[in-house]
Amino acid sequence: MCGIVGGIAQRNVVPILLEGLKRLEYRGYDSAGLAVINNFELYRKRELGKVKELEALLHADPISGTIGIAHTRWATHGKPSTANAHPHVSGNKIAVVHNGIIENYEQLKTAQLAQGHEFTSQTDTEVIVHEVFNALQGANNLLDAVKHTVRKLEGAYALGIVNADEPDVLVACRKGSPLVIGVGIGEYFIASDVAALLPVTQRFIFLQEGDVAALHLDSVEIYDALDQVANRPIIESQLSPDAVDKGNYRHYMLKEIHEQPFAIAQTLEGRFINNRLQENSFGHNASEVFDNIKAVQILACGTSYHAGLVARYWFEELARVPCQVEVASEFRYRKPVLAADTLIVTISQSGETADTLAALQEAKKLGAKYSLTICNVPESSLVRESDLVLMTRAGPEIGVASTKAFTTQLATLMLLVIAVGRRFHLTGQTEQKMTAQLFRLPGEIEKVLQLNGAIKRLSEQFAEKQHALFLGRGAHYPIAMEGALKLKEISYIHAEAYPAGELKHGPLALIDADMPVITVAPNNSLLEKLKSNMQEVSARGGQLIVFMDETLVPVAEGNIQIIKVPQVENEISPILYTIPLQLLSYHVAVLKGTDVDQPRNLAKSVTVE
Ligand code: F6R
């Protein structure tokens, strides 16, 4: 992961780099650093912790320069420490920031140690900067030295590199990790994500795999993987610089939970004419692709994978579309057999998740002819690499724990089920029912958000707990999985989800008065089965917390607490039941005093394996 920013300008770039780093903290936040060139000297500052720690260091001991690079880190090789923080330096002249993993670093390091290089970090990145140093001895300039260096690197990288002897050029390159160039007026920037540069420009060049670029004050030269001059278009971003404001909310996560009615309304906006879903929303040749497909394979990670699991119930139950769902990191190495004419559907908030991207590439290698991505970031790699695209339009999601991205993924998947299902067994009547439910969804979510106070009170019972079980059945089982993931990632309480019918096959042994069992209990055809599973918990003295349809009467005796959820129709019910579980995790985490928006050890965009 990690976030990179860099710039060459006629003004001091340090404030721009710092602002950029803050906007990239979702990519990692265990240490940060920057380096600038001033009067042919390299100045570097690094600090353990978040960007604000680096900012404090720079406040106490300022540096400035018109060219520089900066980095916020999510540790892969070497623990979080100042010594391992980027930029890494060679010969007091060259500095490098890196996002990605160099797989052959041990081999390069052995050679460099023999050449007399001293290593000051445990990172894989340090070999890059020493390699550039070596290459510079025989090269004309930094650009040539970097071109030479990248030929030796195996793995993934996005790099920003400066040389104190060449203060008029910033060199950048990428392979397997994202990097954009921000085009200013008489100034150029680089960053891992457009959001980092929105305060200075809305014009961007997206580097392609293997590109190497040299940025000067008034020009940029780009070379492709074959070292040919490449013409990359300048693209205007639609994002506004203040899209990432926390408003009056205490945390981004709470803001994003409350944004869900609006986000879902945005998802649906303009995609229906006379209540009929327009298939060109997925791309101009979408209808043709949908006409040809015989099955769906969904690939995703984490929360996005849970969205895929819900969609499988919809695809198969409502439309009889054969649908498989797999965690991308497993699919990519499993040597799977793909049925002919399978539509590969990737789901990703960021569009940069390395495993999901690699799984898509693997599917293409296996002969998949059709791909579609459900994504929240228009300029992302997955969007660029997929034939069809349906944007979730959730707006920027800053909290590391995904909330509005998940529910908009679900709404978007329902659109896909309608479009594909029409070719299978989805009846006109069911389509109309689903459409009507989708349009009612923002209002229904507003109602569920009213449960906030009750859930906050409920959360007080959790602060001391070590473990929790989540139960659900059918399409609500993945919702239980999502509830457990949210709780563990932001409150650090160990939580697991089970399909309620599995309880008796092992997990029941865990039940005692200290084990809260959170159950998702909508009023559907599986309710009677679920009631029996809840009785099994009650009979063993377990503490049941049931999110239950308001029309139902309590279902078990003993230690049971009920939060009544407004009644909704079957199809959209999994989306609705997500909201109280998000609120529960949020309030538990606040009570526990964890870092809600940036939980330990995690990052928002997982661009490494
Ligand atoms: C959890 C969470 C992660 C992501 C996962 C995939 O709240 O956000 O599990 O869902 O890292 O990320 P994307 O969706 O960006 O591919």
Q: What percent of the chain has pLDDT over 70?
A: 98
Q: Which helix (H) or strand (E) holds 276?
A: strand 276-277
DSSP 8-state class, residue 29: -
Catalytic residue among 175, 404, 486, 604: 604
CA distance 5 to 71: 6
Q: Locate 177 and state its tokens.
A: 């990790």
Task: Say if residues 401 and 253 touch (Cβ distance below 8 Å).
Answer: yes
Q: Which of 353, 373, 379, 601 is the best mutation target for the ligand 1 pocket, counting ligand atoms within 8 Å of the beta carbon and taking the most?
A: 353
Residue nearest to atom 5 of ligand 1 (CA): 302
- For the beta carbon of residue 584, count every other beta carbon within 10 angstroms: 25
CA distance 7 to 26: 20
Say if residue 176's pLDDT is above 90: no
- Res 245: pLDDT: 72
DSSP 8-state class, residue 506: T
- Which residues does 12 contact at the CB level (< 8 Å), separation at least 6? 64, 65, 66
Give the C-alpha distances (Å, rounded to integers) separating 458 from 28, 176, 562, 576, 595. 32, 44, 10, 19, 20
Distance in Å, CA 357 to ligand 1 centroid: 13
Q: Is 578 in the pocket of ligand 1 (CB under 6 A)?
A: no
- The burial class, CB within 10 Å (0-12 / 13-18 / 19+), for 338 is middle
Task: Say if residues 5 and 69 touch (Cβ distance below 8 Å).
Answer: yes
Say if residue 218's pLDDT is above 70: yes
- Res 237: pLDDT: 76
Give the C-alpha distances (Å, rounded to integers) separating 57 from 44, 48, 95, 517. 11, 10, 19, 46
Is the pTM value of this prediction over 0.85?
no
Distance in Å, CA 278 to ligand 1 centroid: 28
Res. 582 pLDDT band, cuts 50 70 90: very high
The 10s digit of each residue's pLDDT in 301-346 is 999 999 999 999 999 999 999 999 999 999 999 989 999 999 999 9
**Measured between alpha carbons, how far apart are the two ends of the chain, in Å?**
9
- Average pLDDT of the segment spanning 170-199: 93
Q: Is 381 in the pocket of ligand 1 (CB under 6 A)?
A: no
Q: Is 303 in the pocket of ligand 1 (CB under 6 A)?
A: yes
The 10s digit of each residue's pLDDT in 470-510 is 999 999 999 999 999 999 999 999 999 999 888 889 888 88
Task: Say if residues 320 and 313 touch (Cβ distance below 8 Å).
Answer: no
- Res 242: pLDDT: 67
- Average pLDDT of the segment spanning 247-257: 92
Q: Is 350 in the pocket of ligand 1 (CB under 6 A)?
A: yes
- Res 243: pLDDT: 65
Q: Is 585 in the pocket of ligand 1 (CB under 6 A)?
A: no
Nearest to residue 148, comparing CAs of 158, 162, 134?
Answer: 134
How far out from the chain centre does Cα 434 lie?
Answer: 28
Residue nearest to atom 11 of ligand 1 (CA): 302
Res. 178 pLDDT band, cuts 50 70 90: confident
Q: Are strands 180-183 and 188-191 parallel, antiparallel or unpaired?
A: antiparallel
- Average pLDDT of the segment spanning 86-105: 95
**Nearest atom (ligand 1) to Cα of 382:** 16
- Res 504: pLDDT: 86
Q: Locate 297 and state its tokens.
A: 């394979």
**SS3 (DSSP) at 18:** helix
Residue nearest to atom 9 of ligand 1 (CA): 302
Q: What's the full length of the chain, in residues?
A: 609
Q: Is 373 in the pocket of ligand 1 (CB under 6 A)?
A: no
Is the four-CA dihedral 512, 514, 520, 521 of positive or negative sign? positive
**Nearest atom (ligand 1) to Cα of 356:** 16
Say if residue 441's pLDDT is above 70: yes
Distance in Å, CA 179 to ligand 1 centroid: 20
Per-residue burial over 235-254, b = 16 or more CB atoms within 10 Å of its CB, e = otherwise:
bebebeeeebeeeeeebbbb
Catalytic residue among 2, 301, 323, 375: 2
- For the beta carbon of residue 272, count every other beta carbon within 10 angstroms: 16
Q: Locate 347 and state its tokens.
A: 């789901």
Q: Which of 251, 301, 330, 410 is the best mutation target for the ligand 1 pocket, counting ligand atoms within 8 Å of the beta carbon and taking the most?
A: 301
The 10s digit of each residue's pLDDT in 358-403 is 999 999 999 999 999 999 987 788 998 999 999 999 988 989 999 9
Q: Is 193 in the pocket of ligand 1 (CB under 6 A)?
A: no
Res. 556 pLDDT band, cuts 50 70 90: low
- The burial class, CB within 10 Å (0-12 / 13-18 / 19+), for 225 is middle
- Res 25: pLDDT: 87
Residue nearest to atom 16 of ligand 1 (CA): 348
- The burial class, CB within 10 Å (0-12 / 13-18 / 19+), for 76 is middle
Is the four-CA dihedral 413, 419, 425, 431 of positive or negative sign? positive
- Res 555: pLDDT: 61
- Average pLDDT of the segment spanning 279-305: 96
Per the listing, tokens 């106490």 go with 60
Phi, psi of 102, deg, nearest 5: -95, 110
Percentages helix, strand, coil for the chain (3-state, rounded to 5) are 40, 25, 35
Beta bridge partner(s), residue 543: 516
Catalogue the E-assigned strands of 113-210. 155-163, 170-175, 180-183, 188-191, 203-206
Distance in Å, CA 347 to ligand 1 centroid: 9
Average pLDDT over the chain reads 93
CA distance 308 to 299: 8
- Average pLDDT of the segment spanning 408-418: 98
Distance in Å, CA 301 to ligand 1 centroid: 6
- For the beta carbon of residue 539, count every other beta carbon within 10 angstroms: 13
Nearest to residue 239, comparing CAs of 284, 201, 209?
Answer: 201
- Res 107: pLDDT: 96
Per-residue burial over 116-125, b = 16 or more CB atoms within 10 Å of its CB, e = otherwise:
ebeeebebbb
**Nearest atom (ligand 1) to Cα of 303:** 10
Residue 173 annotated as catalytic: no
Q: Is 416 in the pocket of ligand 1 (CB under 6 A)?
A: no
**Nearest atom (ligand 1) to Cα of 302:** 9
CA distance 205 to 103: 27
Out of 220-224, 325-329, 559-563, which region has the weakest mean confidence (pLDDT)? 559-563
Res. 164 pLDDT band, cuts 50 70 90: very high
**SS3 (DSSP) at 251:** coil
Q: Is 380 in the pocket of ligand 1 (CB under 6 A)?
A: no
Q: Is 348 in the pocket of ligand 1 (CB under 6 A)?
A: yes
Per-residue burial over 33-61, b = 16 or more CB atoms within 10 Å of its CB, e = otherwise:
bbbbbbeeebbbbbbbbbbebbbebbeee
The 10s digit of each residue's pLDDT in 514-534 is 889 999 999 888 888 888 888
Q: Is 489 in the pocket of ligand 1 (CB under 6 A)?
A: yes
CA distance 307 to 288: 25
- Res 92: pLDDT: 94
Q: Locate 102 and state its tokens.
A: 């160099």
- Average pLDDT of the segment spanning 30-45: 97
Q: Which helix (H) or strand (E) holds 470?
A: strand 467-472
Q: Is 402 in the pocket of ligand 1 (CB under 6 A)?
A: yes
- Res 461: pLDDT: 86
- Res 273: pLDDT: 87
- Res 99: pLDDT: 93
- Res 551: pLDDT: 86
Nearest to residue 281, comparing CAs of 291, 269, 267, 271?
Answer: 271
Residue 2 annotated as catalytic: yes
Distance in Å, CA 304 to ligand 1 centroid: 6
Out of 25-29, 138-142, 177-181, 264-268, which region has the weakest mean confidence (pLDDT)? 25-29
Distance in Å, CA 604 to ligand 1 centroid: 7
